[in-house]
Amino acid sequence: MKAAILVESKKPLVVANVDLPKKLEYGQVLVKIFYSGICGAQVNEEIEAAKGPDKFLPHLLGHEGSGVVEKIGDGVATVKPGDHVVLHWRKSKGIQSGVPNYLWNGKQVNAGWVTTFNEKAIVSENRLTVIPKDFDMRTAALFGCAVTTGFGVVNNDAKIKIGQSVLIFGVGGLGLNIAYASSMVSAYPIVGIDLHEHKIDLGKKFGLTHGITIKSNNLEKEIYDIIGMKGADVVIETTGIAKVIEQAYQLTASDGKTILVGVPREKISIYSLPLFFDKKLTGSHGGSSNPDSDIPRYIRLINNNKMSLKNLITHEFNLVEINKAIDLFRSGKAGRIIIKNN
């Protein structure tokens, strides 16, 4: 099968034929991948090695996708052959298996409990959630991370209330879902900050009431003019850039919440005294989402025309074009990018 392999950090992925293990181990599931989304964490933390040297090279990538179950290993009880599934990195029901070892030219290629930049994947049972067979597989791929994380940040971490003001730094695939979820709980205003004007424009289709580009000559004044001098009730930071995190915290109201979704790449400096009173600063791990209970709820909303994710996907590439897709992601000129396996 074809797979995209990270052989060296900060270099293009190598698309090559990889051999599957001959036998499924306890709790493992063989899935044929239909679609996979490109997540910023995969590009920044894995390919760009933002967290430091990668000890597991070479290895496979991808952690949000959709597909069909082909085979199951011993002990697997939550999925069966023929099931349509979402592949996600957050744990769900079922067994956590061992990780698979693939072969590339006779040498071992590492992988985690879920990978999606490949035609087929051996996945841990607890990284799969069954979906209806008539549900759109292209949309379903987004449930693996972008949607469940974005909506989870709003519902579980920020716990945004009706009428609270929300400020979002970074309006990429994740930020768009945070804006959408904020609008669904009637937050106001919902302000997006991004480097790219076209992302602000897309964000307004997903719930942003206001948008400001980071290039503004007086960014903080423009923000305070919208949210008031008190600061925002909730500020959600998705970029992981130290200076942006510090600014996000500063713009948070004295009794508000700063939620860090982007992984910081360096040390940050903040005035901590307000944290001893009512101000809160917290990190989010996947929006504290529970895929097995969250995904069915989102599907119900979509099937009843209460929610739509179609415009979230702006570009689609084949697996062999994945490096073009990653370059486009880096350019900031896309919403969510989907990789399709023919």
Segment 107-125, tens digit of pLDDT: 999 999 999 999 999 999 9
User: What tokens does 37 get?
Assistant: 């989304």
pLDDT > 80? residue 156 = yes
- Cis peptide before 264, with omega less than 30 degrees from 0? no
**Pairing relationship of beta strands 232-237 and 166-169 according to DSSP bridges:** parallel
* Distance of alpha carbon 319 from alpha carbon 324, whole angstroms: 10
- Tell me what the pLDDT averaged over the chain comes to: 95
Query: Does 2-144+309-340 match 149-285 in CATH topology?
Result: no
Band the pLDDT of 188: cuts 50, 70, 90. very high
| 207-211, 212-216, 315-319, 336-340: least confidently modelled range | 212-216
Q: For the domain bounded by 2-144+309-340, which CATH number is listed? A: 3.90.180.10
Q: What is the pLDDT at residue 103?
A: 96
* pLDDT score, position 332: 86
pTM: 0.94
pLDDT at 153 over 90: yes
Give the pLDDT band of residue 279 (cuts 50, 70, 90).
very high
Task: State residue 316's pLDDT score.
Answer: 97
The predicted structure's pLDDT at residue 269 = 93
Rounded mean pLDDT, 139-155: 97
| pLDDT bucket at 53, cuts 50 / 70 / 90 | confident
* Distance from C-alpha of 112 to C-alpha of 205, rounded to nearest angstrom: 35
> What pLDDT was estimated at residue 50?
77
Residue 99, CA distances (Å) to 25, 46, 115, 255 in order? 9, 17, 10, 44
Task: Answer whether residue 247 shows pLDDT above 80.
Answer: yes
Q: Over 80: is that where the pLDDT of 68 sits?
A: yes
Q: For 216-231, write each residue's pLDDT tens digit.
A: 778 999 999 999 999 9
pLDDT at residue 215, as a whole number: 79
* Stretch 330-341: mean pLDDT: 91
Burial 11-31 (b: 16+ CB within 10 A, else e): eebebeebebeeebeebbbbb
Fold of the domain built from segment(s) 149-285: Rossmann fold (3.40.50)
Percentage of residues of the chain with pLDDT beyond 90:
87
Domain ranges in the chain are 2-144+309-340, 149-285
